[in-house]
Amino acid sequence: MKLRDILSMEVPRSALKAVVSANNLKSGGNSVEDYANTILIHNKTKPLGLLLAEQYKYAGRTAANWFIPIPSFGDDWGDTKKAKEFLKNKYGEDLFNDGVKKPLTSEPQVFRAEQLADSLVMAFTYRGRERRVLENYRVVKRAPQLVDYVLIHFDPLTIETRTKTDNIKKFLNAVLKVMDKDPDAIKWEKVSKLTDAEALELANKLKAGLVGVKAKMTEGIYATKEVTANPNIKNLREEEEYNNEFSGKPLKKQTLTFSYRQRFGLTENIHFVITEDGLNFLSPVTEDVISFVRKHIQDIKNGHNKKDEELPEATGI
Amino acid sequence: MNAFDIDDLLEQLVLEGRQHFSPHYMCQRLGISDIDGVADYLLSLANVKLIPYYEVECPEGDSDFIIPDPTKLEQEPRICRFCGTEYIPDPNRIWLAFDFTKSFIDHVKKKKERSCITIQSKKTPTHAVM
């Protein structure tokens, strides 16, 4: 996909507008295409255009789950260089260029790969569920071609799936197939599955406010209660009314918001949901944001007492 | 985890009119954290003092339906009646809750009545034998 297309299709308007405004540029209009064009035609902002594309093209509004294989397999997957070499030997150079096009099935198949900083992203394509649609006024059955992404992080080897919960098992098996590993020999530790205590610790580390919750009712006629904070309330946990009713209740869903300053100058609120299935980013996020959250979760799971200055500071709400 | 404390609390909950409670609730009331231990003990009282409910949760955490036996969960796709999510029931996503059997409720209430009568009769002065 051309850079202009990536910017106008994958990058949020707010990010494009922020780059245009911060550099005192005048766009021809206020559509995303106008902003994208403006960024690309000026030499001083073209690098920022490349940065925006890199940050958003595989991210955006996505679920994110992290899995560590047990036992881990270091040899061909110790770092990006070894991993790229393995993939090139198996699929050819095309995997990292135009892509490898195989016949589509309902099972995910890798068709493109790219190095992103010190990680590898693999694009998997598969046929979605067949639906009846109208084509030229005739009812036909069509199964859409879908794409989702998997990132491979190293040290420790961690697989990040960016697909909905139902697909995770399929995608992990597809990744193992790419890696020539036997699915029956590998178990997965789901790093993104957080207990209520871990979720609270993550919220504190991110300086994230709790703005919505679905809690299990442990007694009485209600199975769950779901509440959202009014816009004036930045953190339900700081409210007596919330604590009186929900303190100690198992939480099925937590909606959190934290402030993050992007490398390209935009400071924005990031909204995400923690459920028993993992994390789901509700607002379009960058690779930096996903990485920021991942590192904090790994920190929590490892039980390290890293000082906050070793990780980028969350700016709070 | 003290079984006597649990037994005492169960009687207290009957008198409070509590219903459909989980091991989490019991732990919170008792100030302990051994949810699994409490759950096992409550299950041991099934059909005597308690009626267990195995509620299958959808991925959004809604209690979608009840099954009589958690070992016989049909893992066929279904749609959650609350949120519309299509999912395959997961044996690891079952919420356990309990109600009291009628016989236990009656027993506890009668026991309470008897203890009230006993206290009252002790307070009432007996007639002097002439």
User: What are A173-199's pLDDT values in tens digits?
Assistant: 999 999 999 999 999 999 999 999 999
Burial class (CB in 10 A: 0-12, 13-18, 19+), A144: exposed
3-state SS class at B76: coil
What angle is formed at CA B33 by the lines to CA B30 and CA A229, rounded to 5 degrees? 90
Model pLDDT, residue A309 = 45
DSSP codes of every residue in A81-97 = HHHHHHHHHHH-GGGGT
Closest CA–CA distance from residue B32 to any residue of chain A (Å): 12
Express each pLDDT in A135-154 by its tens digit: 999 999 999 999 999 999 99
User: Looking at residue B47, what is its pLDDT?
Assistant: 93
Chain A residues close to B87, C-beta within 8 Å? 166
| Structure confidence at residue B125 as a pLDDT band (50, 70, 90) | low
* Residue A315, pLDDT score: 52
User: A96 vs chain B: nearest CA distance in angstroms?
Assistant: 35
**Average pLDDT of every residue of chain A:** 91
Chain A residue numbers with beta carbons less than 8 Å from the beta carbon of B24 are 216, 218, 248-250
Residue B80 DSSP class: -
Beta-bridge mates of residue B52: B98
pLDDT tens for A72-127 read 876 788 899 999 999 999 999 999 998 999 899 999 999 999 998 889 999 999 99
Dig out the tokens for A146 from the structure: 């879908």
Q: How far is the CA of A3 from the CAs of A41, A94, A111, in angstroms? A: 12, 19, 20
Question: How buried is B53 (Cβ within 10 angstroms: 0-12 exposed, 13-18 middle, 19+ buried)?
Answer: middle
- Whether B126 shows a pLDDT value over 70: the answer reads no
Determine the residue among B57, B75, B96, B98 to mutate to test chain A binding: the one whose Cβ has the most chain A Cβ atoms within 10 Å.
B57
**The three-state (H, E, C) secondary structure of A116-162, written as one string:** ECCEEEEEEEEECCCEEEEECCEEEEECCEEEEEEEEECCCCEEEEE
Q: Which of B25, B28, B59 sits opposite A277 (nearest CB)?
A: B59
Q: How does strand A119-127 pair with strand A145-153?
A: antiparallel
Q: What is the tens place of the pLDDT at every residue in B18-73? A: 999 999 999 999 999 999 999 999 999 999 999 999 999 998 899 999 999 999 99
Q: What was the pLDDT predicted at B63?
A: 92
Given a contact cutoff of 8 angstroms between Cβ atoms, the answer to whether A166 and A128 are in contact is no
Question: Distance between alpha carbon A137 and the CA centroid of its chain, in Å?
Answer: 38
In this structure, what DSSP letter does residue A166 have?
G
Whether A7 has a pLDDT exceeding 70, the answer reads: yes
Question: Which chain B residues touch A225 with a CB distance below 8 Å?
Answer: none
Q: CA B122 to CA B130: how far, in whole Å?
A: 21
pLDDT value for B124:
65
Note the pLDDT tens digit of each residue in A253-282. 999 999 999 998 899 999 999 998 899 999
| Residue in A216, A254, A255 to test binding to B, most B beta-carbons within 10 Å | A216
Kindly give, in sequence order, each residue whose CB lies less than 8 Å from that of residue A238, ignoring residues fewer than 6 positions away. Answer: none
Cα dihedral B80, B85, B88, B93, rounded to 10, equals -70
Given this model, what pLDDT does residue A191 score?
93
pLDDT recorded at residue A1: 74
pLDDT score at A305 = 45
Residues 6 or more apart in contact with residue A51 via CB below 8 angstroms: A263, A264
Contact residues, chain B, for A224 at CB < 8 Å: 61-63
Restricting to B residues 55-114, those with a Cβ less than 8 Å away from any Cβ of A are 55, 57, 59-63, 86-88, 93, 95
**pLDDT class for A317, splitting at 50, 70, 90?**
very low
> Under DSSP, is residue B120 helix (H, G, I), strand (E, B) or coil?
helix
Lowest-confidence pick of A66-75, A125-134, B112-121: B112-121
Rg (CA), chain A: 21
Question: Band of the pLDDT at A308, cuts 50, 70, 90?
Answer: very low
- Mutant choice from A129, A131, A218, A277 vs B, greatest count of B C-beta within 10 A: A218
Mean of pLDDT values over A44-67: 92
- The interface predicted TM-score (ipTM) is 0.83
